[in-house]
Amino acid sequence: MSLAVRQTSAAASLSASLCHSQNESVERASAIPAASSAAWRRHSGLRMVSTAGDERVAAARRPARRSRSHKPRATVSTASEQAAPAAAALRPLRVMISGAPASGKGTQCELIVQKYGLTHISAGDLLRAEVAAGTEGGRQAKAHMDAGRLVPDEVVVTIVKNRLAQPDAQSKGWLLDGYPRSLSQAHALLALDITPDVFILLDVPQDILVERVVGRRLDPATNRIYHLAFAPPETDEIAARLTQRSDDTEEKVKARLETHNANVASVLDIYASKLVQVNGHRSKDEVFGEIDSLLTRLQQGEVSFD
């Protein structure tokens, strides 16, 4: 037999052998019980593929691809989104503050308004504004002022009530500066259901108050207030033109303090449950630090005087 014939015969035999082996593998796969088919497929590296309802065996030449685990995407909140719940929880503050002349009340009011955006309401400023605007309340107040009489409580209370009802005071909260000053004024506000969240009293010893007032001087050129001991003028030229208010003498200051103390004592009885006394005989930053801490906790609901 020639070499070409022998090679052709051998190839035919090899092909027949491969086909016979494949057929045997298929027959063995068909004969495997259902319970052990999965184990057999893992062992042989074959997997069942369903086509038109029939199953056939296909060689898996590569491992099945792992399915990716889909983890939920992390959500990153913006600063404004994170602050929104806290801002929503904050509510407008209602603050009354009282202090004797030279107690630093005006300075603390400025710092409070700057930090918390409250509507600053001073009865004296309101009266002057109403008079200047010629409103009904202003005309009533002017008539008493021109006659040298005190403006009646009902006139002042009405003006204060109307101001507190304005949208800015309702939405931003309010800071009632130095009012009420008497028991009758406090009762009038209570009758109108006007109550504060807190009543802050700046407490300064009387001898310190007298020293602060007597040493005050005004620069008429700039309307700046100096103090001979605590805030002296920068130059001799400024010092030479400073003036002193006529009621800033020791005798008159003591008389004003006595009147103030008597009026405040009666008011404090009304607001005793909401009263917080703050030591005003410190630097303005130290005083405000205590007030700031109090108002922050009050606004966030950490403390309450209800």
259: left (phi > 0), else alpha (psi -120 to 50), else beta?
alpha
Let me know if 216 is a catalytic residue.
yes
Instruction: Identify whether 128 is a catalytic site residue.
Output: no
Of residues 94, 163, 212, 216, which has the active-site annotation? 216
* 245 classed as catalytic: yes
Q: Which of 94, 105, 163, 212 is catalytic?
A: 105
Q: Which of 28, 91, 139, 245 is catalytic?
A: 245
- The identity of residue 292, as a single letter, is D
Catalytic residue of the set 41, 128, 172, 256: 256
CA 97-268-261 angle, 5° bins: 85
The single residue of 94, 163, 181, 274 carrying the catalytic annotation is 181
71 is catalytic: no
For residue 180, whether the previous peptide bond is cis, meaning omega lies within 30 degrees of 0, is yes
Tokens of 52: 């038109």
Contacting residues for 290 by C-beta, under 8 A, at least 6 apart = 278, 279
Catalytic residues: 105, 181, 216, 245, 256
